[in-house]
Amino acid sequence: LDYFLISRSLVGDTFAADIDVRSISDHAPITFTHSDIFGLETSKSWRLNVFLLRLPEVQLLIKETIGNPRENSDMGLLWDTLKAVLRGRLISFATNRKRAQQKRTVELEQEIKDKELALKLNFSLESYHALQFLKYKYNKIISQSVEFALFRVRQSYFEAGEKASKLLAYRLRKLTSSKAIRLIKSDSNKFLVTNKDINSAFKQFYSKLYTTESTVNVTEVNDYLARVNLPCLNPEDRDLLETPISIPLLVYLRLRLELGTGP
């Protein structure tokens, strides 16, 4: 029998422990949920799921976006705009597709559960084949999710390669963990652990820090500035500074730099 071994101090905070549906193999997975898990957020960094590029609808979406140029536009600005638009449209497509897959996954789990119960009450070869077909469709959706999860792992940490890649992955993990803020204490002496609460606390702190508490009298400021006699360049010096740099001067400065005598 499958079970979890946890500390006695965590028993009071246990939210749920369930036996799930045997959706793929003959073994039913079990899940354990702890109350401290709720509210924790992961990084919001976005990465392109290359599997989406195989879908015909995504290919058509990219072609339509690329094939809509603007005449007399700067190429650099056009390229940056194209990347931003494509990123937004791909995120929207991936989000809608993920929601549809999650909804379909829940529906398949319920159908598998009902089919298993019906098969126990009245076994038939037709019902058994129908149950296996539902498990196949469920397994196909789960495999796509696992494929993308493995893609994110390979893209984040290159541990499967040579020694240099492993050292790079180790260094990346150290930098990520060293920059992460796991816990802070608020003004009310309450510990904050979620990314949302920590960011909100920092926002309130710096907003209060850089907000002036004194009232500004605009008339007094204008009177003070009117009495200040600031020096200014004469027209000859201003024209000299705005004179275009000549080629002989650039050649002279380059020679000075090569000789090590330049400023």
Residue by residue, DSSP assigns 105-122 as HHHHHHHHHHHHHHHHHS
Q: Which pLDDT value is given to residue 43?
A: 52
CB 21 within 8 A of CB 30: no
Please compute, for residue 39, the number of CA atoms within 13 A of its CA located in the half-sphere on the CB side.
11
Is the whole-model pTM more than 0.75?
no
30 backbone dihedrals φ, ψ, rounded to 5°: -120, 145
> How far is Cα 28 from Cα 17, in angstroms, rounded to an integer?
13
Q: Which pLDDT value is given to residue 164?
A: 59
> How far is Cα 42 from Cα 4, in angstroms, rounded to an integer?
25
Q: Which pLDDT value is given to residue 142?
A: 82
Give the angle 45-46-48 at the CA atoms, nearest 5°: 150
Give the angle 119-121-125 at the CA atoms, nearest 5°: 35
Q: Which pLDDT value is given to residue 37?
A: 47
Element of type H or E holding 14? strand 14-19
Q: Which pLDDT value is given to residue 193?
A: 79
DSSP structure class, residue 193:
-
What Rg, from alpha-carbon coordinates, does the chain have?
32
Per-residue confidence in pLDDT tens, the chain, 263 aa: 567 777 665 666 666 777 776 666 667 777 777 665 444 455 556 777 777 888 899 999 888 888 866 666 677 788 888 888 888 999 999 889 889 988 988 898 888 888 888 888 888 888 888 888 888 888 888 887 777 666 666 555 554 555 555 666 666 666 666 667 778 888 888 888 777 888 888 898 888 888 877 777 888 888 988 888 888 888 888 888 888 888 888 888 888 776 655 55
Amino acid at 165: S
What 3-state class would DSSP assign to 213? coil
Q: Which pLDDT value is given to residue 40?
A: 47
Residue 114 CA: distances (Å) to CA of 102, 107, 131: 19, 11, 9
Amino acid at 263: P
